[in-house]
Structure 1
């Protein structure tokens, strides 16, 4: 029970630190630095760099943590470095005098946040028995909506201070890390354990898991990629959907997004835990992944067809059912098919690259869909639903897990 509390708190802290700049504070900071007509372009550039930096660094951090022989453990050194760094970089972002300074600071901030997130996921393979991974993975899915609601609430309390808006989320993450390392014993690697030399080739291999040698891992990676692309269509274009498809007034949109997020988050929290427990009890993963992806995809299709906001709220409630269960059981499944249990940090980092890539791919693809469909957000959400369902189907070729 102590591990479950500490892990959930730490991962929620990671999400708060990771998400809050992109959700709220970056846009406000950019608006204070550039002219209104240049704000959108500057924000897109900064957000893009924020994706690229962690994409490059995450697998290397995972690889290094698998090989660390520090007395305090394999994962703790990286958690502590990440916790300290996000605080420092949060201050730099708040005080950044120009867009280039903000861009560089945010890029390194994303790296620092993943010094927390990547080792935490590796702890699941280190400490959690296979028959309990569904429950713990359910906690991971639960922490995202909790962090979204809690982080936004905290930032609203200090909305008059740019410094506090940037600083409080990383402070929460740092406190969560301290609680975690205080309550959870870290795995230690013996200095005498055989380890290959860290060469350029070894570092390059941190970004790659051979899909021919490890097809189950590859299919799980591809399944998550498709699912998160579908989710990216929703989160990136939700405001434009409300304005252009449902005809909402601009002043209504912020409140409508809050209610939609609340509807999705409420059902996500429930199904994250229930789905994980049922998966452990029935000793089945694939059926849950397929079903939850299908539910999420159907919800997006419903959203593409409704003509009023109440219908959209209904669709988001259904989407949360699929979203929570998918993320919970999908993560449990991938920990069961890791290619090398001794290099869990590296392999989990490679798996997380699927989500990072998806967050870059979705905004890149969506404009083409909108151009071809005559700016129809109904078509965009139909495509998103089909992509989510395809993500569930992609898990069926996995053979080593039922």
Structure 2
């Protein structure tokens, strides 16, 4: 049931991102209250997490670590032996998330500068896009996770996700209209949800060591942060260099390359 459980994580991310964008769009012209509400919600989220988090057993009866500081540093060492598939998953995940956030984090500026909407019109379009992403994301996450577990396949959903993402990137580039960005929200949002549904299941399948699973999963999660951080940076460089017409084909290329890396994995179907 790994993909099914991963699907619920993906659905939570999709709903949270969509609701946050939807609410944030309401504060497009009065930003300070929006920042305050975001901070309050973050505080509430932290408290709720602590309340519902499962209680772990005490570690007092576990054997103490005897290696000292050197062993502590060594515990952060990235996996090397038998880690081919692990690093393929890392690169694939980074590039796929990278491509999505190249567009997602710049959607307001794409609507204003590339498509030509005013700030208030762009905010209204983003609100619609958020609802579309939330709906397709919920359906795509739950359905694809269950299907992946039923057939025991992880890489096939990634191909489907990559195709959907590429279509989502292609349409605004060609059509250059508010409706094309809504189509981006539908296709790319569904693709990202499908990928998210099998993402954690795939990550667990490629772990080289069960004893160091927590540390290795932490390294794989760096791919998420790296993709979310670096994608908008590359977008800004491309916009300055040659405009938004460079952004969409670059995102398409990254999504295609990411799919190739993940299909090279051998330890899971």
2:171 to 302, 312, 321: 302
State the partner residue of 2:229: 360
1:345 corresponding residue in structure 2? 214
Which residue is 1:400 aligned to? Answer: 267
Post-superposition offset of 1:321: 1.5
Secondary structure of the structure 1 residue equivalent to 2:211: helix
Alignment RMSD, CA only?
Answer: 2.6
Per the alignment, residue 189 of structure 2 pairs with: 320
1:175 equivalent in alignment to 2:51: no
1:57-90: CA deviation from partner (whole Å, max 9, x where unpaired): xxxxxxxxxxxxxxxxxxxxxxxxxxxxxxxxxx
Say whether the 8 Å CA contact 1:299–1:385 is kept in structure 2. Answer: no
Please state how far the C-alpha of 1:337 moved relative to its aligned partner.
1.4
Does the aligned pair in 1 maintain the 2:100–2:165 contact within 8 Å?
no
Deviation at 1:227, TM superposition (A): 0.7
TM-score (norm 1): 0.60
**Structure 1 Cα separation of the partners of residues 174 and 228 of structure 2:** 25
Distance of 2:181 and 2:104 partners within structure 1:
13
2:153 to 264, 270, 284: 284
Q: What's the counterpart of residue 225 of structure 1? A: 94
Q: Does 1:240 align with 2:109?
A: yes
Q: CA contact under 8 A between 2:138 and 2:193: conserved in structure 1? A: yes
How far the C-alpha of 1:151 sits from its partner, in A, is: 4.8
- Cα–Cα, structure 1 residues 363 and 200, in superposed 2: closer, same or farther, change >3 Å? farther
CA-to-partner distance for each residue in 1:364-398, whole Å, 9 max, x for gaps? 3223322442x1x1321121122112211110111
Pairs within 5 Å for 1:73-222: 132-151=1-20, 165-181=38-54, 186=56, 191-193=61-63, 195=65, 197-200=67-70, 202-203=72-73, 205-206=75-76, 208-210=78-80, 213-222=82-91
Provide the TM-score with structure 2 as the length reference.
Answer: 0.87
CA shift, 1:294, in A, is 2.1
Q: Deviations over 1:176-226 (max 9, x none)?
A: 331232xxx64676834585625246425525222x630111111111100
CA separation of 1:160/1:290 partners in 2, compared to 1, >3 Å: closer, same or farther?
Answer: closer
Q: Distance in 1 between the 2:173 and 2:103 partners? A: 11
> Which secondary structure does the structure 1 equivalent of 2:98 belong to?
helix
CA distance in 1, matches of 2:66, 2:171: 52
Please state if 1:257 is matched with 2:126: yes
Aligned length: 264
Question: 1-side partners of 2:160 and 2:66: how far apart?
Answer: 42
The structure 1 segments of at least 4 consecutive aligned residues displaced by more than 3 Å after TM superposition are 149-157, 159-165, 185-196
Question: Structure 2: 5+ residue runs without aligned partners?
Answer: none
Q: Distance in 2 between matches of 1:355 and 1:208?
A: 16
Distance change >3 Å, CA 342–CA 288, structure 1 → 2: same
Structure 1 gaps of 5+ residues are: 1-131
**Matches of 2:172 and 2:36, distance apart in 1:** 38
Residue 381 of structure 1 aligns with which residue? 248
What is the CA-CA distance between 1:401 and the residue it aligns to?
Answer: 0.5
Distance 1:153 1:387, change over 3 A: closer
1: CA distance between counterparts of 2:152 and 2:2?
Answer: 11
Label 1:153 to 1:396 Cα distance change in 2 as closer, same or farther (>3 A): closer
Conserved 8 A contact 1:266-1:320: no
Higher relative contact order (CA 8 A, sep 6+): 2
